């Protein structure tokens, strides 16, 4: 095996050297384009007072009429529209629009909600009365709330919130913004409000940011004056504007990136003398004075280009995939596999260092390769604190937890729960674990690299998921645990090598090199790790300490994916040493992935025009790989994304098959033999992979801001209860099966209630679930007789 591994590693190193030496930098081709068009003129002599978009249809409002243009229609259709006070502004989003009405003085006195009815009519509803009239008001939607800014009768700044944005809400006054000047635009994006303020003649407009946790902050100036109604959110982190400058040139179409704070100009559409604008599809619609009073309409739609892989990229990817399948086939032909022990724990012959590398590889999935850089790009290194504290937890696991379970000679970690409590507890916990692995982990881990493939190649996400899942299922079913562990070793080299190369390439591409990288990262506080506040809604140091206690120390025993590697080692001593090896790799590995996010921030701050405003934040690193790296190197790092996903996917598939075989098949089927058990294990490997693929396909249908947060939430909601069962079993003598069953059920129900009410940060769900199971389970155990069976070797208290 060592010779095969060495040959594979030498081949990968040789390919990397050739790619670096033979390829040049990527061409600076555009990653986004603008499609301009015109719409039919409005057959009305009345001037348009408000322009907005409802359910993808533009809506033009005059003093006494409303007009809409259905998709594909050649003429505007008139809708019933009650005449009323002058229209002074509008906002739209989520299939509904809002208009601001006021008097002759120009102050907004009331707000109305507009929705298009199924029959084509326009529904108008008056919202709750404003606490006071506002001058120079602007409105926007953010989440389920409507926000309104303006100046009160005393000239003071006002920020009002209506949550939810409907007839049943109540306006609340929030913190006033600082400084002078009337609002020119207000837009909601990336969980914050972005306010533009007109200043003295000849001075650039100011920009302010407001968020619920930080209030108002200054964010510099705008490179022009905002056209009324043109500010709109785009994608997950961009704002699109039409900006006019003082040189008399036509307004420019520009994007502002809310994370880096950088401006980029898009291709210049024929804007002309634009007077009024609104969001429309993935761009803007605006009104130009025409021959009639209604005017003419023009549009500009941002379009994302696909960065197709080139021939050398595909060669590298194919070589990698064939190598992984070859290793699976090698173990299939080499191993006789006469028992499930050979298939699931490699005959307990895995070296400790290989098990440790495999532990880290399984723990650093595509979430680490894609979502963690995206998180560091959007925020900072706060989540890296978890890695640092987790090492302390792993030390406890290596000394106390792993030797205890390794001595029991298990294949399924849930066998412990049967010995300690009852077979029903084992089967319930095993079933929940299977659900968590397939629904929470495997689906997200499979979806993320598929998103990367779709972003880069243009292949539909569905086909990407099917391709990734198919390759992983094939080599896992062929090779069993030995193939999983040894391919993990190769995959770790591939993905870490690709990650380090990407960091070096970004820093090398900066004009100021490493000094610019360090300066910009420090100026934006992007490497901040420690938050010592006691705010339970944030990711703080105390939260991570609390989390590691529950997520590492108390949940490690129930983690079949990780424990299966320690159970595959040669002895109790090697099992503990594999955890030490895992801990030794975790810290430098964590710094690598978070540094990718910081390097992306600095790179795109210096090159904002290279960002695609339509992509999700999670797609930032894949977009960089496709658009910026040289041919061949792109393929090598895409292979790294594959490696990150496949290492964890194969581990999950093998572990789920283990649980299904050992905890259910071998417990329920009579007259079984080892040959049938191995066949069932192989079939369950395929079945588990196909189910995970199905969950990933379902996940691909939803627009989720951060898949990293979603995976944490699902794991907390479903995974905490049976982790608490282990704690009760290993750390107490009094817990019994009845109490544990009550504790598991209660923790799931109560944690789901906490999640629905959004009481705390998602990172706390798992810890809350475990704590509830421990407390309720122990108290419930006191209502029943103590365990009558021997607890020798089943607790940390030794043989007593």
- Asked whether 116 and 67 are in contact (CB, 8 A), the reply is no
Mean pLDDT value of segment 519-530: 91
Q: Which of 147-161, 375-389, 451-465, 623-637 has the lowest mean pLDDT?
A: 451-465
Residue-level pLDDT at 270: 66
In terms of pLDDT, which residue wins out, 135 or 332? 135
Residue-level pLDDT at 715: 67
Q: Which residues contact 773 (CB under 8 A, 6 or more apart)?
A: 720, 721, 722, 723, 724, 725, 727, 728, 740, 743, 744, 746, 747
Q: How confident is the model at residue 3 (pLDDT cuts 50, 70, 90)?
A: low
Is the model's pLDDT at 167 over the cut of 70?
no
Q: How confident is the model at residue 27 (pLDDT cuts 50, 70, 90)?
A: very low
In terms of pLDDT, which residue wins out, 9 or 209? 209
Task: Give me the percent of the chain exceeding a pLDDT of 70.
Answer: 88
Dihedrals phi, psi of 184, to nearest 5 degrees: -110, -25
Is the model's pLDDT at 10 over the cut of 70?
no
Q: Which of 90-104, 184-198, 329-343 has the lowest mean pLDDT?
A: 329-343
In terms of pLDDT, which residue wins out, 760 or 689? 689
Residue-level pLDDT at 373: 92
Q: How confident is the model at residue 557 (pLDDT cuts 50, 70, 90)?
A: confident
Mean pLDDT value of segment 88-93: 88
Residue-level pLDDT at 442: 83
In terms of pLDDT, which residue wins out, 800 or 284? 284
Residue-level pLDDT at 28: 46
In terms of pLDDT, which residue wins out, 269 or 352? 352
- Asked whether 48 and 69 are in contact (CB, 8 A), the reply is no
Q: Burial, 749: exposed, middle or buried (Cβ in 10 Å; 0-12, 13-18, 19+)? A: exposed
Residue-level pLDDT at 233: 94
User: For residue 406, which of 553, 565, 585 has the smallest C-alpha distance?
Assistant: 565
- Give pTM, 2 decimals: 0.83
Q: Cα–Cα distances in Å, from 492 out to 486, 695, 721?
A: 10, 26, 32
Q: Cα–Cα distances in Å, from 713 out to 364, 374, 720?
A: 18, 18, 11
- Asked whether 283 and 301 are in contact (CB, 8 A), the reply is yes
Mean pLDDT value of segment 261-280: 82
What is the distance, to the nearest Å, from the Cα of residue 484 to the centroid of all Cα atoms in its chain? Answer: 26
Q: How confident is the model at residue 140 (pLDDT cuts 50, 70, 90)?
A: very high
What pLDDT, in 10s, does the model give residues 613-625?
A: 988 888 888 889 8
Residue-level pLDDT at 455: 66
Mean pLDDT value of segment 752-764: 76
Is the model's pLDDT at 291 over the cut of 50?
no
What is the distance, to the nearest Å, from the Cα of residue 633 to the centroid of all Cα atoms in its chain? Answer: 25
Q: Which letter, b or e, does each residue of 215-235 get, where b requires 16 or more Cβ atoms within 10 Å of its Cβ?
A: ebeebeebebbbbbbbbbbbb
Mean pLDDT value of segment 258-267: 90
In terms of pLDDT, which residue wins out, 633 or 453? 633
Is the model's pLDDT at 293 over the cut of 60?
no
In terms of pLDDT, which residue wins out, 335 or 326? 326
Domains located in the chain, CATH noted: 2-28+307-331+352-702 (1.20.1730.10), 32-304 (2.120.10.80), 710-800 (no CATH)
Is the model's pLDDT at 217 over the cut of 90?
yes
Q: Which of 235-249, 512-526, 544-558, 697-711 has the lowest mean pLDDT?
A: 697-711
Residue whose structure tokens are 């790296």: 629
Task: Give me the percent of the chain exceeding a pLDDT of 90.
Answer: 23
What pLDDT, in 10s, does the model give residues 446-487?
A: 887 777 677 666 667 888 788 788 888 888 888 788 888 888
Mean pLDDT value of segment 211-223: 91
User: How many C-beta atoms lie closer than 10 Å to residue 669's C-beta?
Assistant: 12
**Residue 439 DSSP label:** I
The token pair that represents 217 in the structure block: 């902050």
Dihedrals phi, psi of 38, to nearest 5 degrees: -125, 155
Residue-level pLDDT at 313: 86
Q: Which of 13-17, 80-84, 690-694, 725-729 has the lowest mean pLDDT?
A: 13-17
């Amino acid at each position: 095996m060592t010779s095969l591994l060495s040959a594979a590693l030498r081949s990968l190193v040789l390919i990397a050297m050739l790619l670096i030496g033979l390829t040049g930098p990527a061409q600076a081709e555009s990653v986004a384009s603008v499609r301009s068009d015109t719409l039919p003129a409005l057959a009305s002599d009345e001037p348009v007072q408000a322009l907005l978009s409802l359910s993808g249809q533009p809506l033009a409002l005059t003093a006494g009429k409303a007009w809409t243009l259905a998709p594909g229609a050649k003429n505007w259709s008139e809708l019933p529209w009650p005449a009323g006070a002058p229209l002074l502004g509008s906002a739209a989003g989520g299939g509904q629009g809002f208009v601001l009405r006021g008097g002759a003085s120009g102050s907004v006195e009331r707000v109305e909600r507009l929705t298009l009815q199924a029959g084509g009519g326009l529904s108008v509803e008056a919202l709750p009365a404003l606490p006071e009239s506002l001058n120079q008001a602007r409105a926007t939607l953010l989440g389920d709330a409507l926000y309104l800014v303006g100046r009160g009768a005393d000239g003071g700044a006002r920020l009002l919130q209506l949550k939810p944005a409907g007839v049943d809400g109540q306006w609340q006054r929030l913190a006033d913004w600082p400084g002078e000047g009337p609002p020119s635009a207000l837009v909601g994006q990336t969980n914050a409000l972005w306010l533009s303020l007109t200043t003295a003649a000849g001075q650039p407009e100011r920009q302010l940011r407001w968020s619920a946790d930080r209030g108002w902050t200054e964010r510099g100036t705008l490179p022009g004056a905002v056209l009324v109604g043109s500010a709109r959110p785009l994608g997950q982190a961009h704002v699109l504007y039409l900006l006019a400058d003082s040189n008399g040139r036509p307004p420019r179409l520009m994007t502002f990136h809310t994370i880096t704070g950088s401006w980029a100009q898009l291709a210049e559409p024929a804007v002309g003398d634009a007077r009024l604008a609104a969001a429309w599809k993935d761009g803007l619609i605006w009104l130009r004075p025409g021959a009639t009073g209604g005017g003419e309409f023009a549009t500009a739609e941002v379009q994302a280009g696909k960065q197709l892989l080139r021939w050398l990229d595909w060669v590298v990817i194919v070589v990698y995939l064939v190598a992984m399948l070859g290793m699976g086939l090698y173990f299939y032909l080499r191993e006789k596999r006469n028992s499930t022990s050979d298939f699931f724990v490699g005959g307990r012959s895995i070296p400790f260092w290989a098990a440790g590398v495999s532990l880290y590889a399984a723990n650093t999935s595509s979430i680490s390769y894609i979502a963690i850089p995206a998180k560091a790009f959007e925020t900072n290194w706060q989540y890296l604190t978890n890695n640092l504290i987790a090492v302390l937890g792993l030390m406890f696991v290596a000394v106390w937890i792993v030797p205890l379970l390794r001595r029991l000679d298990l294949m399924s970690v849930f066998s412990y729960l049967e010995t300690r409590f009852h077979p029903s507890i084992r089967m319930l916990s095993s079933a929940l674990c299977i659900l968590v692995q397939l629904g929470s982990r495997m689906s997200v881990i499979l979806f993320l690299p598929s998103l990367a493939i779709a972003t880069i190649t243009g292949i539909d996400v569905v086909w990407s998921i099917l391709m990734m899942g198919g390759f992983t299922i094939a080599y896992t079913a062929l090779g069993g645990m030995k193939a999983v562990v040894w391919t993990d070793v190769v995959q770790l080299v591939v993905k870490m090598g690709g990650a380090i190369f990407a960091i070096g390439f970004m820093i090398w591409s900066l004009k100021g090199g490493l000094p610019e990288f360090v300066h910009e990262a420090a100026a934006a506080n992007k490497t901040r790790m420690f938050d010592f506040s006691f705010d339970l809604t944030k990711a703080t140091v105390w939260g991570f300490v609390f989390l590691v206690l529950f997520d590492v120390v108390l949940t490690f025993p129930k983690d079949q994916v990780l424990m299966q590697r320690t159970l595959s080692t040669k002895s109790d001593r090697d099992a503990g040493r594999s955890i030490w090896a895992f801990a030794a790799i975790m810290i430098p590995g964590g710094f690598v992935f978070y540094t990718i996010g910081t390097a992306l921030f600095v790179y795109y701050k210096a090159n904002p025009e290279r960002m695609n405003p339509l992509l999700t934040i999670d797609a930032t690193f894949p977009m960089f790989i496709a658009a910026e790296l040289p041919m061949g190197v792109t393929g090598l790092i895409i292979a790294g994304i594959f490696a990150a996903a496949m290492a964890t996917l194969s581990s999950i598939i093998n572990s789920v098959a283990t649980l299904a075989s050992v905890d259910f098949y071998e417990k329920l089927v009579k007259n079984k033999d080892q040959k049938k058990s191995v066949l069932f294990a192989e079939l369950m490997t395929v079945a588990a992979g196909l189910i995970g693929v199905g969950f990933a396909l379902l996940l691909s249908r939803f627009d989720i801001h951060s898949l990293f947060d979603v995976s944490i939430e699902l794991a907390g909601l479903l995974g905490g209860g049976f982790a608490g069962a282990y704690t009760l079993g290993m750390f107490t003598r009094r817990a019994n099966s009845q109490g544990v069953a009550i504790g598991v059920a209660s923790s799931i129900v109560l944690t789901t209630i906490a999640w629905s009410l959004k009481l705390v940060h998602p990172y706390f769900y798992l810890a809350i679930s475990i704590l509830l199971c421990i407390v309720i389970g122990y108290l419930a155990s006191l209502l029943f007789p103590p365990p009558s069976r021997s607890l020798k070797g089943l607790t940390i208290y030794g043989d007593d």
